[in-house]
Structure 1
Amino acid sequence: MFTAKNFSPNQLSALTALLLSVPIGIAFYVIHNKIWIAVIALLIIFLGSYMLIRSVLEKFIYRKIKLIYKFIYQTKASKKEEMYYKYILPKKSIDEVRADVEKWAEQRKNEIEILRSNEAYRKEFLQNLAHEFKTPIFAIQGYVDTLLNGALENPDVNVRFLENASRNIDRMVNLVSDLDEISKLESGEQPLYKQNFVIQDLVKEVVESLTIKLAERNIKFSIKKGCELPVTVFADKEKIRQVLINLIENAAKYGKQNGNIVASIYNTDEKHVLVEISDDGIGIAEEHLPRIFERFYRTDRGRSRDVGGTGLGLAICKHIIEAHDQSMHVRSKLDVGTTIGFTLDGRQGTKVNGEQVERQKA
């Protein structure tokens, strides 16, 4: 279907000039009754109108459009951009220019929303950080002031106050250590030393190291039936150990007394392995699930500071897994339990003389 929607400036100028010159040519033919005079008049009017209209379009309308584009990109035009303005932009229809401006406006709107979200996150993070440090600092200050004001000579309280102050100092040290860990993971300062290892063996080592914590709440640990066969992954073993420690400790803290923790390991395809740690504890409300990997974020149902920890464990886990170019996920239902999982690369290596040789890279 014929449409002028996508006409270029040259085409639009030619069409307009033709619409002007044809009636004038007909008028000359009617007045002089000579076809050659009418043709000459038509050509002169057509060429003159075409040049005039094209000049107006290019020098007026597209000059305004260029200003719009320069405003959009907020920069002085480079030689490449000047070529764009001179040769490519004039070939665009007004609708295409409008689409470009609408696209730019949408991008700016999204950027503003991201900035607002980041600002809100920054404020919340600083508030949480101040609270996390304020609590042990004020506690230490209270114990020290009490000791200096005479309690130091009281054998019934001096040792107990010093022990309490020491525990709060340890809490601050752990906070700083965890923040430093996240900072290094974000900046890439901590290299990954990847190797092939059996993930079930690492899970068993971690559980063995947490036996006392699990026994305190009489929580049983098991590997899901059907997941016992050894599965080899290619990752930084010590970093994944840290992830598993955090996840199993969390499952023990928020799992129910006399409950169960179950580890599941699946070969999702020939290249990836899925590892999941499940508990049958209090669960997490749905509205909290998108934020549990944020620093210091704690839900309001049982996952309080009274349970212990710095509130950075899951954030560290997420950074470690993302450093492996993998992802974490969570599923949970209140009073049913929580499952947190992550993916890893499967076994990797190179073949030399028909034999599989493990390879390690930093």
Structure 2
Amino acid sequence: MKKNIKRSYKFATKTSLFITLVLTVLIAVFLSVSEAFNIGVLFGFSACCYFVSFFIIQYRVERFIYRRVKKIYDDLTLLESASLRRQPITTDMATLTQEIEKFAKDKKLEIETLTVREEYRKEFLGNISHELKTPLFTVQGYILTLLDGAMDDEKLREKYLERANKGVERLIYIVQDLDMITKLEVGDLSLNIDTFDIVEVVEGVFDLLEMKSAKKKITLTFDMLYSNPILVKADKDRIRQVLSNLVVNSIKYGRFKGTTEISIENLIKNKVIVRVTDNGEGIAKANIPRLFERFYRVDKSGSRKEGGSGLGLSIVKHIIEAHDERIYVESELSVGSEFSFTLEKAK
């Protein structure tokens, strides 16, 4: 590809031409006055004047730009990015401008990303502080009450110790969930990939959560009768955890006498998609992009009454992504929600 002429050359060319014209006019006037006018001498003078002016101006301009650009490269630590340091120092102002503009855009994007991350970090620390201090203060309160004399009452002692134990169990639950997410993120949690019947796993989850759903008279059901097994390749225990978390959420935010339905469909040749659908509260569109963040709650007051660590959906997302699969969510307020994820079919 043909390179563009350096702008410094254009500058030197135009300036030299201007100087040459001015000097040529002056020398022509001088020669006319002195009656020694000679067109050959005038032409030779013009050519010499032009080339001498061009080389002097070009050399001086390049040296001027080089010194100042080199000072920028040497002094500004911001310009020590890999993209600039790999390239030699240039005196072409167009190239330099493009490099600086690209660098500025990259830094602006980096700053915006860091700002978003900082806001997320502050929110995350606030959320985890709230989640941990509630059970901690509960445990501390019961223990202090016992130390203040309540332990002498056998019934009261047993009651407070049981409540303190529930608070400790909640703390352990939160820490275990956080530990699992961290391992999933860094890839330390290994998956035991096996072939199993996803229908059987769903039935097991339904049996496990039958009593919980009965409290709100929510029906757990398939969309149809699956008489034949549907074999998939995944970590059976982790997928059971995914389904449990999704069904628990559908019960937690489901309407009284509602329904939670699971369907399993062929997506493409080697994939199935599992859908968990309810007719509960639904989720506003503004909240959907943040559903899988740690401790993010759509209805903070309501969800805390229902319990949970606030990490369920985050764990679900990380487990599915650890399988190199995708998870989707569709929801509408007062209508219901549908969470779906893909799995690889066994051959």
Q: Into which bin does the TM-score normalised by the smaller protein fall?
A: 0.7 to 0.9
1:41 to 37, 40, 45: 45
Choose 1 or 2 for highest CA Rg. Answer: 2
Tell me, what secondary structure is at the counterpart of 2:341? strand
Structure 1 residue 225: Cα displacement: 4.7
Distance (whole Å) between structure 2 residues aligned to residue 39 and residue 266 of structure 1: 89
Matching residue's letter, 1:150: G
Task: State the SS of the aligned residue for 2:155.
Answer: coil
Q: TM-score, normalised by structure 2?
A: 0.83
SS of residue matched to 2:91: helix
- Confirm whether residue 163 of structure 1 aligns to residue 162 of structure 2: yes
- For residues 192-341 of structure 1, the aligned pairs below 5 Å read 192-225=191-224, 232-270=231-269, 272-300=271-299, 303-341=302-340
C-alpha distance in 2 between matches for 1:245 and 1:90 = 64
- Number of the residue aligned with 2:172: 173
2:80 corresponds to which of 75, 95, 118? 75
Matched with 2:142 is 143
Q: Do the aligned partners of residues 290 and 18 (structure 1) sit closer, same or farther apart at CA in structure 2, a change above 3 Å counting? A: same
How far did residue 294 of structure 1 move? 1.3
Counterpart check, 1:110 vs 2:109:
yes
Matched residue type, 1:55: Y
Paired position in structure 2 for 1:53: 57
- More displaced 10-residue stretch of structure 1: 316-325 or 191-200: 191-200
Cα separation, 2, equivalents of 1:107 and 1:227: 53
| Structure 2: 5+ residue stretches without partners | none
Question: What's the C-alpha RMSD, in Å, of the aligned pairs?
Answer: 3.2
Q: Which moved more, 1:179-188 or 1:286-295?
A: 286-295
Q: Distance in 2 between matches of 1:14 and 1:29?
A: 22
Q: List alignment gaps of at least 5 residues for structure 1.
A: 349-355, 357-362
Instruction: Report deviation, 1:155.
Output: 3.1
CA distance in 2, matches of 1:129, 1:148: 28
For 1:7-22, what aligned pairs fall within 5 Å after superposition? Answer: 7-21=6-20
CA distance in 1, matches of 2:100, 2:53: 30
**CA distance in 2 between partners of 1:303 and 1:328 (Å):** 25
Q: Secondary structure at the match of 2:220?
A: strand
Shift of 1:227: 8.5
CA contact (8 A) 1:199 1:230 kept: yes
Q: Supply the AA of the counterpart residue of 2:91.
A: P
1:125 corresponds to: 124
Q: Residue 256 of structure 1: CA displacement?
A: 1.3
Cα deviation for residue 28 of structure 1 reads 5.6
Provide the C-alpha distance between the structure 2 equivalents of 1:139 and 1:92, rounded to a whole number of angstroms. 67
Percent identity, please: 38
Distance in 1 between the 2:131 and 2:82 partners?
A: 49
